[in-house]
Amino acid sequence: MAKVSPARALALKALLAWRQDPESHLEQHLKGLPDPKDLDLAYTICRGVLKEKTFLQKVVGRYLVRKGKNLPLPVELILLLSVYQRLFLEKIPQYAIVSDAVELCKEKKPAFSNLVNAILRNLERDLESGFDPTKEPLSLEERYSHPKELIDLIKEETKDEALIEQILKWDNAKPKAFLRRKNGSHEECLDVKAVVQSDDFKNGKIYFMQLWSQSVANAAPVKDGDQVLDLCAAPGGKSLALLDRAKIKLTACDFSETRLAQLKENFARLGYANAPNITIKQLDARNADQAFPPASFDLVLLDAPCSSLGTIQRNPELRWRFKLEQLAEYAALQKSILQAAKTLVAPQGYLLYAVCSFAKAEREATDLLRQDKTWTLVKEKLTYPGEQDSFDGGYYSLWQKN
């Protein structure tokens, strides 16, 4: 067999693994290449296929004679990743795309290698004669490669055509990374690898944190000496921002042992290993009212588990996992955590509720506070993805106990 580029071989392997376990994260499957350039290309291809899946399927579909008949999964993925490279990546020679596609197909499903070759060559011929697939009539589902169920939800939530398109466009745009310095300032990170190798990063002067998350942490009223409880804290971004803002006594909890391990690693890098003002605890936040005495915290941060619909730009696979019924499940979980959390706030203390989702269902938990006269709403913010430059979508509200 002719040699296939390691990047394309890994991209196919990762996409197949992801399709077999759609709950997994793409990154989990993108490992094992010694050359970082190959790994980067594999990552770009996988991300691109997930972001443009429906559109790519439409392009491939144009060349399938037996419409409606499913191709074997490896063959479909080989076609999608090849068409993605041809339409979206510059600098990759067409002959390399086709030859690797045919070789990969010979390895996985040899009977389809002529078909793959023919489709890619016919597409090339059409492109050379001026065919532009983006100019074809496309539905929103095809143009922005989102499942119909998700588009229907966005329509239902926003009821605004321009906003719907803004969200879909934002989800498919290239994500930017941001850094936060210990003094609370932030900056865009243009080269993640260089930052990770920098002394400032190694010495814990900076950490990665998206602007939306920074805005949530900045909304928390903290002052020196405050007792702060972060109920869903891992991997620790918002807790770290709070620690930088005031000399607080922090209790950071999370349900997940694995994520708590990441939190501990992040805390250690930022110079908080074994800090006397920090307690880390594994806890199901639904039982938080049994784990701590009532009214024992000046601030409770509830950065609740949620659908993460506001972060699809950074997690393209999320859209394909979306199921409408998950929203009700998250809403029930959020309510039961908030029910426990509200008992822990001291008089005049605060509760900050946040989700990285713009779905109405995921802010319903706060009705528990809205309908209770002991609570005053101090501040509330809903941001749709892309509404504010470089911000994910999300919701937070800050409440004070009378």
What are the residues binding ligand SAM (CB under 6 A)? 213, 232-238, 254-256, 259, 284-286, 303, 305
Name the nearest CA neighbour of 325 among 159, 155, 149.
Answer: 149
Distance between CA atoms of residues 248 and 198, nearest Å:
28
Distance between CA atoms of residues 92 and 104, nearest Å:
17
Q: To the nearest whole angstrom, how small is the minimum distance from the Cβ of residue 238 to ligand SAM? A: 4
Q: To the nearest whole angstrom, how small is the minimum distance from the Cβ of residue 105 to ligand SAM? A: 40
Nearer to ligand SAM, 100 or 317 (CB): 317
Q: To the nearest whole angstrom, how small is the minimum distance from the Cβ of residue 70 to ligand SAM? A: 36
Phi, psi at 334, each rounded to 5°: -60, -40
* Cβ neighbours, 10 Å, residue 108: 17
**Using alpha carbons only, how large is the chain's radius of gyration in Å?**
24
Q: To the nearest whole angstrom, how small is the minimum distance from the Cβ of residue 171 to ligand SAM? A: 18
Angle of helix 94-108 relative to helix 113-128, nearest 10 degrees, comes to 160
Nearer to ligand SAM, 71 or 240 (CB): 240
Q: To the nearest whole angstrom, how small is the minimum distance from the Cβ of residue 312 to ligand SAM? A: 15
Is the omega angle on the peptide bond into residue 235 within 30 degrees of 0, that is, cis?
yes
Nearer to ligand SAM, 349 or 394 (CB): 394
Nearer to ligand SAM, 169 or 259 (CB): 259
Q: Which residue is nearest to ligand SAM (CB)?
A: 232
Give Cα separations from 21 to 14, 18, 53, 123, 307 (angstroms).
11, 5, 17, 31, 18
Nearer to ligand SAM, 11 or 216 (CB): 216
Largest CA distance in the chain: 73
Q: To the nearest whole angstrom, how small is the minimum distance from the Cβ of residue 230 to ligand SAM? A: 6
Distance between CA atoms of residues 60 and 75, nearest Å:
11
Nearer to ligand SAM, 19 or 381 (CB): 381
